[in-house]
Amino acid sequence: MSRTIRSVAVFCGSNTGRGDVYVEAARRLGTEIGKAGMTLVYGGTHKGLMGVLADATLAAGGEVHGVITRRLADKGHLHEGLTRHEIVDGMRRRKERMAEAADAFVALPGGIGTLEEFMEVWTLNQLGDMDKPAGLFDVEGYYRPFMAFIDHMIAEQFLPEAHRAGIVVNGDAAGLLDGLRAFERVTVPKWL
């Protein structure tokens, strides 16, 4: 089975991180999204990895739908060159709109906001409230410590082992998108 993914929401840093590795990864992912004819849904800013990702998607012929909060738009953070942008009241509404607009989700490296947004969609999938694949773009092993913590949850019996496969983890942009298309939802109950 292969899923049709027309739009992908990407959570990522509004900073660029250390060195050029994360910038290049954001550029690769944006290029792959654009080449695949997908619409990028993201936080709507020109800052950090978010801006690099949007610019690369546009340069590759893709469309970009930004969803930004009123507060950030009023501070001048809105990326003016997007195909479409929405200004919403608050982060909760922003996450809702991104989830509504996307067929799949990816987390590039980022900070606590990136992780929080990603964990929410993984949780919604785990509970069966949503059936949209989610993946981690594991640039240079960025998410290896996080996945080790997931393994610790499994070892301590707070998470069924099958739920580790509830997300796609890949360090290659094209491979990650392919993994999202091929994703099959984990149906093992979350309760041990």
User: pLDDT tens digit string along 19-60?
Assistant: 999 999 999 999 999 999 999 999 999 999 999 999 999 999
Q: What are the structure tokens assigned to 188, written together?
A: 């093992």
In sequence order, the β-bridge partners of residue 141 are: none
Helices (H), the chain: 21-35, 48-59, 70-74, 91-101, 112-127, 144-155, 173-182
Q: Provide the mean pLDDT of the chain.
A: 96
Place of tokens 């479409």: 84
Nearest to 13 by CA among 39, 42, 34: 42
Distance CA 107, CA 136 (A): 5
Residue 20: give its domain's CATH number. Answer: 3.40.50.450
DSSP 143: T
Residue 131 within any structural domain of the chain: yes
Residue 187 within any structural domain of the chain: no
| pLDDT score of 93 | 97
Q: What are the structure tokens assigned to 36, written together?
A: 């695949």
Pairing verdict, β 104-107 and 7-11: parallel
pLDDT band at 74 (very low <50, low <70, confident <90, very high): very high
Can you give the residue range of the structural domain that contains 26?
Answer: 7-182
pLDDT band at 144 (very low <50, low <70, confident <90, very high): very high
Distance CA 160, CA 192 (A): 6
Residue 191 within any structural domain of the chain: no
Residue 188 within any structural domain of the chain: no
Residue 190 within any structural domain of the chain: no
Residue 189 within any structural domain of the chain: no
| pLDDT score of 188 | 85
**pLDDT tens digits, one per residue of 83-117:** 999 999 999 999 999 999 999 999 999 999 999 99
Q: What is the tally of structural domains in the chain? A: 1
| pLDDT score of 28 | 98
Distance CA 149, CA 45 (A): 30
CA atoms within a 13 Å half-sphere pointing along the CA-CB vector of 113: 13
Residue 93 within any structural domain of the chain: yes
